Amino acid sequence: MKASGLFLALTLLFGGAVTLTAQEASSPATPGKESWAFNASVYGYFPPEDAHYAQPTVTADRGALHLEARYNYEALKSGSAWIGWNLEAGKELKLNATLLAGGVVGDLRGVAPGYELTLAWKAFELYSEGEYVFDTTDSSGNFFYNWAQLGWSPWEWLSVGLVSQRTRAYHTGLDVQRGLFVGFTYKNLSLNVYVFNPGWETPTVVSSLAVSF
């Protein structure tokens, strides 16, 4: 199956789950029954010397179960599907983590273990996601992908901080890119702007828009 076909199928699957959830919400609640939570985001990448592209991600969570689909994340014209297990611990210092297993199809083909974690304390939040892709067609394509950011939120609607990433989806002169970000939140919507590599080379700008429901 082509990557675009896989991503479309997963999107339709999650869309069906959204419809089911809406139908369940209109019925009397069942005691102890957990509901689905969804998030959809799209990142726009604008590297100065490479193709500009969009990177959509859709997630669905129900209790400890986590499902996720990404496109153009590990490589352009490639999609990945994930299943994971949600964990949480702590109160004042709160940890939320998801252990993941996934597969990648398209221009890049492989399997990958991964993780997502958030560590929050007062107005500070550390977020990191990573995966190691084992390229099933050429082992020289094995690669560790990572995105990490440390943010400070002086108000609920604003966050600023530091960000880094390691990717092969586009190319720069730096193996690990570093930068700054600013984010705005309104109800269930969030908008973020990231600027990578300022001071090292021509900056790469990344923007994101996300909605949770």
Q: How high is the pLDDT of residue 33?
A: 63
CA 8 to chain centre: 17
Q: What is the CATH number of domain 3-212?
A: 2.40.160.40
Q: Which residues pair with 84 in a beta bridge?
A: 66, 100
Q: Which two tokens stand for residue 117?
A: 């974690």
Domain locations along the chain: 3-212
pLDDT of residue 12: 39
C-alpha span between 139 and 149 (Å, rounded): 29
Give me the chain's average pLDDT, please: 88
For the segment 132-167, what is each residue's pLDDT rounded down to a tens digit?
A: 999 999 999 999 999 999 999 999 999 999 999 999
133 alpha-carbon distance from chain centroid: 16
Distance CA 43, CA 57 (A): 8
Per-residue confidence (pLDDT) for residue 18, from 0 to 100? 36
DSSP, residue by residue, 26-78:
TSPPPTTPPPPEEEEEEEEEE-TTS--EEEEEEEEEETTEEEEEEESSSSTTE
Chain-centre distance for alpha carbon 167? 13
pTM score of the predicted model = 0.83
Task: Give the chain's residues under pLDDT 70.
Answer: 1-33
Q: What is the C-alpha to C-alpha distance for residues 155 and 184, in angstroms, rounded to an integer?
A: 10
Who contacts 3 (Cβ-Cβ below 8 Å, separation ≥6)?
A: 71, 77, 78, 79, 105, 106, 107
43 by Cβ neighbours in 10 Å (0-12 / 13-18 / 19+) ranks as buried
* Rounded CA separation 50/75 (Å): 13
